[in-house]
Structure 1
Amino acid sequence: MTTFSDRARQDTTALRDRILELPFNRELAAGRLSRQRFQFYMIQDALYLEQYSRALAIASAKAPDTRAMEQFARSAQGALIVERALHEGFFEKFGIAPVEAAQFAPSPTCYGYTNFLLTVAHQASYEELVAAVLPCFWIYWDVGNHIAADTVPDNPYRAWIDTYSDPSFGQSVNAVIAIANEAAERSTEARRVAMLNAFKRSAQYEWMFWDSAYREEKWPVSA
């Protein structure tokens, strides 16, 4: 039987390959990504994770069983605590003051991605929400492992690479994939289609997020 994750993987294979080949990820693996681009990424990622954790918390509240509730609750906490420590370490290493970071606004892509997730969280079904939050787990695991296998010694971004290629992160990824498969199996065909559409949209935003960081994306007009 073809699972939801099988179909999601199949339908986004080309896009996921393109994510691995983005200049941001290739240069990060080579250890030659500019400090300025990585600083931009880390600040935007911190802004993203604050809202992503809210979507995960809502997924926990909507979950139909305690196992899924616990998984999403832990993930929401991890987005705020574990990865915040990673960001703060890089902020210190690259000379980014917390006050300075707090003054940044979300880029157009960051703003669009987080608002998409929160809209799904508040207005769509639990199943669609699970599908929408899954790419951030799964694609980061793919990217982390791809870069870890291809990186250079003494890469200045080693802590980032280690975070997303760590087996403990992989366990969380597999747990959410299993939850998504179970949710799809219990659901209707129409809702499975909606799940796949939500997954694809988030996967597109993942590509856009790394691309926007490399371009240090700005709003085209000021308010």
Structure 2
Amino acid sequence: MTEAMRSDSETSGEGFAEACRRETGAAWDRACGHPFTLALGDGTLPQSAMADYLVQDYAFVGTLVSMVGFAVGRAPDIGAQARLSTFLAAVTSEENTYFQRSFEALQVPEGDRTAPALRAVTRDLIAAMEDAGARGSYGEILATLLPAEWIYLSWAEAQAAKAPGAFYFQEWIDLHVNADFRAFVLWLKVETDRAAAVASAAERQAMAERFARMVRLEVDFFDMFHPR
């Protein structure tokens, strides 16, 4: 985010997170209304595509957990630490259980669950999260986490009224459209704004760049399982 963009954002009353979302433009819209998510909501996504998607997605869950763990350590107060820790608890419990049940139903081989062949985009997502955790500030970690979770909330809300049938479709939507997840994404937006407000110009720019990169990677990730 350039200083001119920041000035425009402040004048309009738009927060940092909303400004970052707006700046991603077509990529954001593509991610939130991707043909992959539409097919998932309709229940028409082939089982093989869903299985492949879950294998690649699960491959970076551990990296996500580690990155958020770094955020817990760098958080400015115990309230932020508690919110992030609650998110970690959900990812490592109910979400992990969903993956295991879905792998069984979709007959995913054990090797693909524990040591999958990673696609290039999956490796890029892992690298982006590893770099944010290892080198990024608290604000930069938030700016990496927020677009991913916000995109999932947005596409899941758009598909929530549908009844795709198979539990591995329905429950994946439900995990990202419930009240607790909505509240976390809202908190994450506010917390990202708070971090940006006390950050230097250079750090705000780094936050905006990490945000935009994650949006592009989410589009590329969905493209692997339902091409344009």
Tell me by how many angstroms 1:99 deviates.
Answer: 4.7
Match of residue 151 from structure 2: 139
CA–CA distance in 1 between the matches of 2:118 and 2:164? 33
User: Are 1:181 and 2:193 counterparts?
Assistant: yes
User: Are 1:12 and 2:12 counterparts?
Assistant: no
CA–CA distance in 1 between the matches of 2:111 and 2:125? 24
CA–CA distance in 2 between the matches of 1:9 and 1:99? 37
Question: For the structure 1 residues 75 and 153, does the alpha-carbon distance in structure 2 shift closer, same or farther, using more than 3 Å as the test?
Answer: closer
User: Are 1:160 and 2:172 counterparts?
Assistant: yes
**1:114-162 deviations in Å (ceiling 9; x for gaps):** 111111211122211111111121110001101113x246355111111
Match of residue 68 from structure 2: 56
Match of residue 105 from structure 1: 117
How many residues are paired up? 214
CA–CA distance in 2 between the matches of 1:89 and 1:78? 16
Tell me, yes or no, if the aligned pair for 2:32 and 2:152 is still in contact at 8 Å.
Answer: no
Tell me, yes or no, if the aligned pair for 1:134 and 1:176 is still in contact at 8 Å.
Answer: yes
Tell me by how many angstroms 1:100 deviates.
Answer: 4.4
CA–CA distance in 2 between the matches of 1:198 and 1:36? 31
**1:10-29 deviations in Å (ceiling 9; x for gaps):** 11242121123432112112
> Identity over the aligned pairs, expressed in percent?
24
Look up the equivalent residue of 1:183 and give its one-letter code.
Answer: A
User: Are 1:122 and 2:134 counterparts?
Assistant: yes
Q: 1:192 aligns with which of 197, 201, 204?
A: 204
CA RMSD of aligned residues (A): 1.7
Deviates more, 1:1-10 or 1:51-60: 1-10
SS in structure 1 at match of 2:45: coil
Look up the equivalent residue of 1:26 and give its one-letter code.
Answer: L
Deviates more, 1:88-97 or 1:119-128: 88-97
Question: For the structure 1 residues 98 and 77, does the alpha-carbon distance in structure 2 shift closer, same or farther, using more than 3 Å as the test?
Answer: farther
SS in structure 1 at match of 2:60: helix
Tell me, yes or no, if the aligned pair for 1:54 and 1:76 is still in contact at 8 Å.
Answer: no
Q: TM-score, normalised by structure 2?
A: 0.87
Q: TM-score, normalised by structure 1?
A: 0.89
Q: 1:69 aligns with which of 58, 67, 81?
A: 81
Match of residue 207 from structure 1: 219
Look up the equivalent residue of 2:139 and give its one-letter code.
Answer: E
Q: Which ranges of structure 2 fall in alignment gaps of 5 or more residues?
A: 1-12
Tell me, yes or no, if the aligned pair for 1:53 and 1:75 is still in contact at 8 Å.
Answer: no
Question: For the structure 1 residues 100 and 109, does the alpha-carbon distance in structure 2 shift closer, same or farther, using more than 3 Å as the test?
Answer: closer
SS in structure 2 at match of 1:81: helix
Look up the equivalent residue of 1:18 and give its one-letter code.
Answer: R
Tell me by how many angstroms 1:64 deviates.
Answer: 1.4
Match of residue 42 from structure 1: 54
